[in-house]
Amino acid sequence: MRIALTDDLAACRLIRRRVFIEEQNVSEADELDDLDGVALHLLARDQTGPLGTARLLIGGETGKIGRVAVLQQARGRGLGQALMREAIAVLRARPGVKKAKLGAQLHALGFYEALGFVAFGPEYDDAGIAHRDMELTL
C-alpha cells in the first residue's frame, strides 16, 4: 500500500464519486466544488489501483482535511487511519500550520477521536448528513 500526494485528480474524484455520490447519496452539486484546484490531494493505492483519497486545504494556521474516502472493497484494513495519519503528517510539515480541522460525519466521530481529534460546536447538516467539526493541535 502506498499513500502519497498526487496530481491524479481523476482517480481521487472517481473514489469520491463511488463513496459519496453512489453509496451515501450526496448530490453531485454538493460533492463537486471549485476547491479541488487549490487543494492538496492524497491518493492511496496498491497493485490493484487507487483505493482511497483525502483532500487538504490550507488557510493560514489551519489545514482542513476533507473528502476522506475509501472504496468499499478496501475498508476494514486500516486504510482510513493510514490516510489520516499521512494527512496529519503533510500538514505538520507545512510551515505555519498549527492545527488540523475537519467536519466529521457523526458515525465517524470515534474514528477521528482515536486519532486525537476533539469535537467542538453544534451538530450540523452537510449534504444531508449530520456532522460535527473536530480539530487537532499539531
Name the one residue in this structure whose C-alpha cell is 500500500.
Answer: 1
What local confidence, expressed as pLDDT, does residue 88 receive?
98
- Note the Cα 97 to chain centre separation in Å: 17
What local confidence, expressed as pLDDT, does residue 9 receive?
96
What local confidence, expressed as pLDDT, does residue 89 receive?
98
What local confidence, expressed as pLDDT, does residue 135 receive?
98
What local confidence, expressed as pLDDT, does residue 82 receive?
97
pLDDT (tens place) for every residue of the chain, 138 residues total: 899 999 999 999 999 999 999 999 999 989 989 999 999 999 999 999 999 999 999 999 999 999 999 999 999 999 999 999 999 999 999 999 999 999 999 999 999 999 999 999 999 999 889 999 999 999
Task: Give the other-Cβ count within 10 Å of 31's Cβ.
Answer: 17
DSSP class of residue 106?
A: G
pTM of the model: 0.94
What local confidence, expressed as pLDDT, does residue 47 receive?
93
Residue 74, SS3 per DSSP = helix
Name the one residue in this structure whose C-alpha cell is 500550520.
Answer: 97
What local confidence, expressed as pLDDT, does residue 138 receive?
96
What local confidence, expressed as pLDDT, does residue 102 receive?
98
What local confidence, expressed as pLDDT, does residue 93 receive?
96
Return the CATH architecture of domain 2-100: 3-Layer(aba) Sandwich (3.40)
